[in-house]
Structure 1
Amino acid sequence: MSRVADTAAQRLLRFHERYFDAVASARKTLTVRWNESHTTGTALAYFEHADRTTLPVDITSVETHRLSELTAQTLRLKTDSGLLGYVSNLRDRYPGMPEDAQVDVVTFRLSAVNI
């Protein structure tokens, strides 16, 4: 892949392809990440293994929490019962994540500006 000298690198917020519709419709505006480096500002939502386009997003906050201290409220879940499933999914995505991991709760919104 070649790059033009004056183009800025695009920051990517990666998702599994199954989340495209939820992000595109703004139903999904929060994600939890471990051992990744995200900051507020513009980025592209990139959907792995998909033929779909990227979506411009604004990362609005990045808050660090201990995995063991995540709550349904922090994750904007409707019930506490969803918390165990959410953490289980995180462990599937990050199999090397330790029990005492610190994770980032990343909130974002679709951007009106193409980046």
Structure 2
Amino acid sequence: MNPFESELRVIEAAEELASTLGADKNHTVAAAAMDTNGVIHRSVNVYHFTGGPCAEFVVMGLAATTGAGPLMTMAAAGDGGRGLIPPCGRCRQAMLDLHPDVMVAVPGESGPRMRPIRKMLPDTYFFPDADSQRILRFNKRYYDTVASGTKTTTVRFDDPVVPGPHIFAFEDDAEHRTLKGLVTSVRHYRLDKMTAEQACLAPGTSAEEFRRGLRTHYPELSDEDEVGVVAFELS
């Protein structure tokens, strides 16, 4: 997917820092990461024959020292004008375990693209003791209805939300507003079999109308696919 404005700022921060590198061969990659408060953390790698840490590892540690919670966006860029570079396998595994909802910038044919970290490491091992904080993302237009408790369900496709505490983050929100909440249940239904009651639709909204809206939001969604009805509350 194309980057939001906030994600473009993370990419620019990584590329700007990378442009200052080159004189020291021990530091050749820059990384930038944005937390749920909208703070962008920056760092560089430490190249060493014993296996010095990648820039993504360093920026995760740097963010942790400031008390930052889960990271929303990660980008890395190489020195010498190499531009945006994707993370290595070890970084992908660490991000998946420690920041499982982070979006990662990768180069594409027509410019940077954003990828969920779980899509970059399929069929992976999960570190059970990571105890990572989870993020549930919403379009920023839903802030008021979520904050007021009017909106208590959301329907997701290909998004493995699990019950438990979450930070509710609102995408590309200039104020970087967040709410603390709890996902209470996730129920799955085949799209073409899901009723208005199962989808928790407002009175007067038909299931077919809702399905059309979902297909617009998820172009790859087919009638045979399952979607998850996520119930949540503020904590």
Relative contact order, CA 8 A, sep 6+: which one is greater?
A: 1
Q: How does 1:7-46 map to 2 (within 5 A)?
A: 9-46=132-169
For the residues of structure 2 that align with 1:94 and 1:86, how far apart are their CA atoms? 12
Q: Which blocks of at least 5 consecutive residues in structure 1 are unaligned? A: none
Residue 79 in structure 1 maps to residue 203 in structure 2: yes
Number of the residue aligned with 1:61: 185
Query: Take 1:72 and 1:80, find their aligned partners in 2: how far apart are those partners?
Result: 9
Shift of 1:44: 1.1
Question: What's the CA shift for 1:49?
Answer: 1.6
Q: Return the letter of the residue paired with 2:186.
A: V
The CA deviation at 1:85 is 2.6
State the TM-score, normalizing by the size of structure 1.
Answer: 0.85
The alignment's TM-score, normalised by the length of structure 2, stands at 0.44
| 2:212 is equivalent to residue 88 of structure 1 | yes
Kindly indicate whether the alpha-carbon contact (under 8 Å) linking 2:169 and 2:179 is maintained by their aligned counterparts in 1.
yes
User: Following TM superposition, by how much is the alpha carbon of 1:78 offset from its aligned partner in structure 2, in angstroms?
Assistant: 3.9
Q: Which amino acid aligns with 1:70?
A: M
Q: Could you tell me how far 1:57 is from its partner in structure 2?
A: 1.0
Higher helix share: 2
Contact 1:63-1:105 at 8 Å conserved across structures: yes
Q: What one-letter code is carried by the residue in structure 2 that aligns with 1:89?
A: G
Aligned-residue CA RMSD (Å): 2.0
Cα deviation 1:2-36 (Å, max 9, x = unaligned): 23289753311111111110100010000111101
What whole-Å deviation, never above 9, does each CA across 1:42-62 have from its counterpart, x for those lacking one? 011111121231111100000
Equivalent pairs, count: 111
Instruction: Find the aligned partners of 1:78 and 1:45 in 2 and give their Cα distance.
Output: 22
Is the CA contact (8 Å cut-off) linking 1:72 and 1:80 kept in structure 2?
no
4+ runs of 1 displaced by more than 6 Å?
none
Letter in 2 for 1:105: V
Q: Does residue 47 in structure 1 map to residue 178 in structure 2? A: no
